Structures are given as C-alpha cells and as structure tokens.
C-alpha cells in the first residue's frame, strides 16, 4: 500500500493555504533533511505559485553526522538565526532519519543534537512575528517505522489523512469544548481502570490547536497534523490517580513505547509512578529533567478523527485525553534533557463542577452550557 498520487502536492496546498495563509511577496523558508526532500520540493513549488519569495534549506544527513566529528565544532549544527530574522513563514520537515545514530550520541549530546532551532532563533522568530509549521509526515520514515514496530506505508497514510483534515473544522469542534471549559472551575476525570483525578482549571487557559500558525492569535508555531484542546491546572490543585490505557511512543528509547502507566498526584505534584512497560525510559528522562518535572502542565483533548494511534501524533486521536508532565526550569549543566510526557487515556468520563459533561470521548448530549460565565470567587 503506497501513498495516493500527488500526495506531496496535496499536503503542500493545505500547508501553504489553510495552515499558513502564504501571501504574495512574503519570504518563505522551507527547511528539510535529505530523506524528506520530495515533500519539501512540493512546498517550494506551491509557495512560489502563490507569489512568495522562497528559499530551500537542506541538511544532508551524512554531512550532519560527519560534522559531529569535526573539531573544534563538536556542537551539532543549528539553523542560523538569520533565517528567522528574515522569514515571514517557516516550514520545517524534521530529521535526521537515522534514529539509531542519534540515540548513540547518549544523554549528554542528544538534546543539543535534536534542538535544531535554539533559543536565539525562537527569540528572532517572535520578534519577526513569523509563522512556523513543523510537518510530522517527515518523521514517518523507514528507520522510525522499524524502531516503533509499525508498517511504514499505513503509518504515512494515517499522518497524511490527518494532515489534510481542515483546520477550520478542527477549530469549530474545539471551540465547543473551549466555551464550556472556560466556564468551569473544577474538572474530574474518572475511568473504570482506576483513574480518578481532579484539579481546578486555571482561568483563561482553554485553547484550541487547529494547525494554523498565526502570531497575531498567539500561535507563532504549530504542527501538522494537529487537533487539540488544552487546559492548564491551577498550580497545586491536581489530586488523585491517572492510569493510562493507550501507549505513548518513545522516539529514542527501547522498548519503543510506554504502556500501563500509573501516576499518583498529591497537592499538585507527582508522588509515585509505575509502568507495565517502558518505565526505565520514563525514569531516565525524569531523572535528568529539572525543576517542574513533577507538575502536570496541561490536559489535552484529541480532536482529529483521522488519527487511530499513530506514533508521533497519538495524543491527537479524537476522544483521547492526555495528561502532560513536563519541566519548566531545567537544571544547569550539560546533561539537561528536555522532558515532556503525555499519559494517554481513552474512554473516560468527565465532570465539570460536579455535572457529567463527557463520556467515552464525546460530550454528553444532556450537558447544558450555562448562559453566563460562572463566578470564580
């Protein structure tokens, strides 16, 4: 089973149109690795068809790894800040393809090798008001499919279908959830597997991620495919147990998935955790992360009906809840490892302020949206 004809052109039209709204006279940069060049070339053609000034940046994989051995460079090559200062639109197709060569760098060098765009680059992007998109389809390659133990072509087709799902439809679906979450004070998530978690929702934190980049709306960067609604817990309010029933894929670890996770929270912090599989990989990342690693950063609701649990985008599947753990301030030193982990749950029941609102991935039909905002006093 292969990709449909003209798949690259279809994705390029969707990205340069609904996702980025590329306009005549804008400067567009497409950055790619060698394995994703066919996708990148289609993006360049579509951008130029729209009248944009377009540049293609290519990182050739063997040259990249050779560069890691060249003294005195040592530090992995990064995207020049000048590109962020001069681009209105930026599209990134991630790499490299050879995951095993990256993983072999070890925990000391791996973070800097995968951090293609450094803090100065992002500062320049924000100052410019640039619109940035990362295309996950480039991550679906033979080496990654072998690592995850999935068939490559079905994986690619799933990501492509999800990437072509209209951002406007995702926005409308997500907005319904956001309106209700914005009026709620407290959320409770339960499941027969033992999950029973509550927290107070941080005011104004409900947002939609629909795959459209727009710095004016506060969405400097997005990824395609997309489709999430997110809320943040008020610090110190998360209490209870969260147990996963969907796997979380681990890009640089063996085994390649975390399964059967159980997390216990008290006073807003993670106190205990265990896994049926993949616990050592989680523990290693958790140990190297800094302050804030034990604080749930957000709860997300998957919106994209084209996702069925594909690696790299499993949290986007319609009806999936993900409780995200992550750090806010990393500890100093060369061994700092970026830490972000989505604990996935399907088939949950949700109460908002004591009223049942969500069951098994759907809003309960009898749930009534209040006429006015609830008091937060």
What's the pLDDT tens digit per position in 286-322? 887 877 889 999 999 999 999 998 999 999 999 999 9
Q: Would you call 31 helix, strand, or coil by DSSP? A: strand
**For residue 237, what are the CA distances in angstroms to 186, 268, 269, 373?**
10, 5, 9, 21
Pairing verdict, β 362-363 and 221-224? unpaired
pLDDT in tens, 92-137: 999 999 888 887 777 666 777 777 898 899 999 999 999 999 999 9
pLDDT beyond 90 at 328: no
The b/e string for 228-260 (b: 16+ C-beta within 10 A; e otherwise) is bbbbbbeeebbbbbbbbbbbbbbebbeebbbee
- pTM, 2 dp: 0.90
- The predicted structure's pLDDT at residue 74: 62
- The predicted structure's pLDDT at residue 166: 95
pLDDT confidence band for 333 (50 / 70 / 90): very low
In this structure, of 10-24, 128-142, 149-163, 202-216, the range with the lowest mean pLDDT score is 202-216
CA distance 62 to 59: 9
In terms of residues, how long is the chain?
377
* CA geometry: angle 33, 164, 86, nearest 5 deg: 45
CA distance 245 to 210: 25
Q: What domains can be seen in the chain, in order of their start residue?
A: 7-164 (3.40.1830.10), 168-363 (no CATH)
Question: Looking at residues 256-264, what average pLDDT do you find?
Answer: 97
Contact 24, 47 (CB under 8 A): no
Whether the link from the prior residue into 114 is cis, omega within 30° of 0, is no
Contact 27, 98 (CB under 8 A): no
In this structure, of 5-14, 102-111, 201-210, 354-363, the range with the lowest mean pLDDT score is 102-111
């Amino acid at each position: 089973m292969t990709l449909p004809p003209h798949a690259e052109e279809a994705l390029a039209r969707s990205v340069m149109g609904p996702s980025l709204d590329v306009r005549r006279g804008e400067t567009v940069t497409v950055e790619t690795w060698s394995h994703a060049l066919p996708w990148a070339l289609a993006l360049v053609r579509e951008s130029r068809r729209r009248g944009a000034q377009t540049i293609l940046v290519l990182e050739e994989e063997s040259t990249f790894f050779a560069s890691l051995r060249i003294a005195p460079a040592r530090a992995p090559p990064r995207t020049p800040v000048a590109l962020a200062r001069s681009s209105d639109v930026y599209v990134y197709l991630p790499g490299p393809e050879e995951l095993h060569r990256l993983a072999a760098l070890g925990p000391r060098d791996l973070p800097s090798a995968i951090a293609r765009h450094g803090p100065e680059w992002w500062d320049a992007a924000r100052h410019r008001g640039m619109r940035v998109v990362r295309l996950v389809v480039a991550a679906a390659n033979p080496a990654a499919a072998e690592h995850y133990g999935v068939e490559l072509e079905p994986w690619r087709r799933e990501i492509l279908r999800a990437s072509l799902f209209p951002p406007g439809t995702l926005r409308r679906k997500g907005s319904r959830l956001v309106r209700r979450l914005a009026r709620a004070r407290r959320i409770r998530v339960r499941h027969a597997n033992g999950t029973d978690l509550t927290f107070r929702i941080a005011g104004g934190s409900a947002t939609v991620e629909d795959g459209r980049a727009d710095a004016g709306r506060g969405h400097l960067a997005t990824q395609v495919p997309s489709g999430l609604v997110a809320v943040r817990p008020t610090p110190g309010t998360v209490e209870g147990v969260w147990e996963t029933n969907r796997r979380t894929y681990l890009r640089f670890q063996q085994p390649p998935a975390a399964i059967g996770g159980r997390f216990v929270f008290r006073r807003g912090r993670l106190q205990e955790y265990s896994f049926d599989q993949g616990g050592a990989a989680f523990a290693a990342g958790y140990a190297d992360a800094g302050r804030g690693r034990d604080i749930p950063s957000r709860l997300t609701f998957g919106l994209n009906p084209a996702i069925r649990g594909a690696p790299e985008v499993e949290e986007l599947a319609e009806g999936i809840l993900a409780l995200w753990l992550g750090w806010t301030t990393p500890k100093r030193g060369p061994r700092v490892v970026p830490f972000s982990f989505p604990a996935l749950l399907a088939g949950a029941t949700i109460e908002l302020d004591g009223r049942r609102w969500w069951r098994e991935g759907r809003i309960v039909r009898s749930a009534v949206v209040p006429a006015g905002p609830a008091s937060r006093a």
